[in-house]
Structure 1
Amino acid sequence: MSEKSASVHWEGAGKAGQGQVSTETGALQKYPYGFASRFGDDRKGTNPEEILGAAHAACFTMAVSFACDKAGFATRTLDTTARVRLAKDGDGFKIDRIALTLEATVPGMEDKQFQQIAEEAKRNCPLSKALAAVPEITLQAMLKN
């Protein structure tokens, strides 16, 4: 088993408040976030949705690589983007869609097998399983061989 941690420190109320995100590894160390970086155009901070997207893209990509290896194909490159949509939901918000886009170079692999591997990774990577409550998770997978 593996257990990782992240922490947040927040000061202030609501829209005026500011937070800092830190991770156990130090990859994020007191990284700022707040209302403007989540709902506005402040590009100096992060937000929960992009952190979630990064985690999902990383998990999915690793799952694809492992599955390709298991099938006997070494991945040369895998580039994944995850677009996480935060939508209004009554008085609050919800994540209603995650769109994964994968561009891959896997020498010798046929597209049909690649598509099967990518779809299986989308369904079965740990983050996809954890995000099962998201109504729509899409995948566009392109093999660039």
Structure 2
Amino acid sequence: MIKRIAKVIWNGPLMEGNGVINTQGLKNIKFSVPTRFNQDVEQSSSNPEELLISAHAGCFSMALSAELTKNKTPPKTINTTGELVMKNEPSGWKITDIHLVTKAVVPGASADVFNECAQRAKANCPVSKLFSGNCNVTLDAHLEK
């Protein structure tokens, strides 16, 4: 069993307040309503959704590396970008879509093998499993030379 811990402190009312996230590896990540709901996020701040999509892109990349390595075609590089869409629905804010785009250099892998590994990684990484059934998760996987 693995445990990860995050500690969050929120100060003040929602609209004027602000918070700080501390994890075992990251310290003093600032967030607030403006950093959460505005498109332009300050460089020294983040928001819960940005952390979620970062976790998903990282988890998927590691799962893809594992799948490719099991296939005896370990990757040279995997570059994954994630996009999370959150919409204000009648029931409130909801994460509705996640789109991952990955580009990888994998010596010796065919396009078919790469795509099979990418689909397995998407289905089996722990963060993908968390989102499965809760929002639409899509993947564009590109094998590069």
The TM-score range, normalised by the shorter chain, is over 0.9
Contact preservation (8 Å) 1:96, 1:136: yes
Aligned pair count?
143
Bigger Cα displacement from structure 2, 13-22 vs 128-137: 128-137
Return the TM-score normalized by structure 1. 0.94
The CA distance in 2 between the partners of 1:9 and 1:117, in whole Å, is 40
Q: Out of 127-136 and 60-69, give the one that drifted further.
A: 127-136
SS in 2 for 1:137: strand
CA distance in 1, matches of 2:135, 2:24: 30
Distance 2:117 2:64 in 1: 6
> How many percent of aligned residue pairs carry the same amino acid?
36
Aligned to 1:129: 129
TM-score (norm: length of structure 2): 0.94
How far does residue 42 in structure 1 lie from its aligned partner after superposition? 3.7
| 1:88 maps to 2:51 | no
Deviates more, 1:126-135 or 1:111-120: 126-135
2:15 is paired with a residue whose SS is: helix
Give the structure 2 partner of residue 119 of structure 1: 119
Q: Give 5+ residue unaligned stretches, structure 1.
A: none
Counterpart contact for 1:104–1:142, Cα < 8 Å = yes
Structure 2: where are the runs of 5+ without partners? none
Amino acid aligned to 1:32: K
The DSSP-based 3-state class of the residue aligned with 2:53 is helix
Corresponding position: 1:74 with 2:106: no
Superposed displacement of residue 129, structure 1: 0.6
Q: After the TM superposition, which parts of structure 1 deviate over 3 Å for at least 4 consecutive aligned residues?
A: none
Q: Which amino acid is 1:8 matched to?
A: V
